[in-house]
Amino acid sequence: MDFGLSGRRRLPTAIKILIAGGFGAGKTTMVGAVSETRTLRTEEALTHVGQHIDDLSGVEAKPTTTVVMDFGRITIHGDYMLYLFGTPGQERFWFVWDDLTMGALGAVVLADTRRLADCFPSIDYFERHETPFVVALNCFDGARPFTVGEVRQALNLEPEIPIVLCDARRRDSGRDVLITLVEHAMRRGVTPVGTMS
């Protein structure tokens, strides 16, 4: 922990980051993989009641869904504290997004190339709210690989929006995605200072 000239302990700067994307894209997995603390999860079991609401094509083995958020934390050199908020991916839980987004530096939109269209609502939301975001292609086993250019064209993304490959299960991969987001936000003039509400 850093001590300023006064000798008092200086608290780390809090930075709020969202992990968003479609249902089953790997948001809970990514938050859990990179968090230095035990992840807070608000998952509930999928039941037959939601079978007409939830599209499980491509993720049939998924047994749970996030209903409010996932929460994790990363400390960087004692100077910065990243607070990670994984958003719910299903439309019926989107009402919590406005509260989660308040004070965020930016967002990672996790994309599953098997269900690429599922990340459109996240991209649309962050574009409308002028929130800096990056797209992270979660490399699922057995998924057809697409080039970054193909994904950029399919999602109709501007050239300045970073698209990166990642494995949401790996801490180092998730860390690299977060670094890309922070650098992108800073290039857009958003600074980490005072981003947490």
Distance CA 20, CA 30 (A): 10
Structure tokens at 158: 């501007």
Which one, of 134, 142, 120, lies nearest residue 59 by Cα?
142
- Environment class of 123 (CB within 10 Å of its CB; exposed 0-12, middle 13-18, buried 19+): buried
Percent of the chain whose predicted confidence (pLDDT) is above 90: 44
| Stretch 91-113: mean pLDDT | 82
Convert 157-172 into a string of H (helix), E (strand) and C (coil).
CCCCCCEEEECCCCHH
Residues 129-186: tens digit of each pLDDT:
999 999 999 987 766 778 889 999 999 999 999 999 999 999 999 999 999 999 999 9
The region of weakest confidence among 12-16, 98-102, 118-122, 147-151 is 98-102
Q: What is the pLDDT of residue 77?
A: 79
Beta carbons within 8 Å of 124's beta carbon, 6+ residues apart: none
State residue 144's pLDDT score: 72
CATH number of 13-187: 3.40.50.300
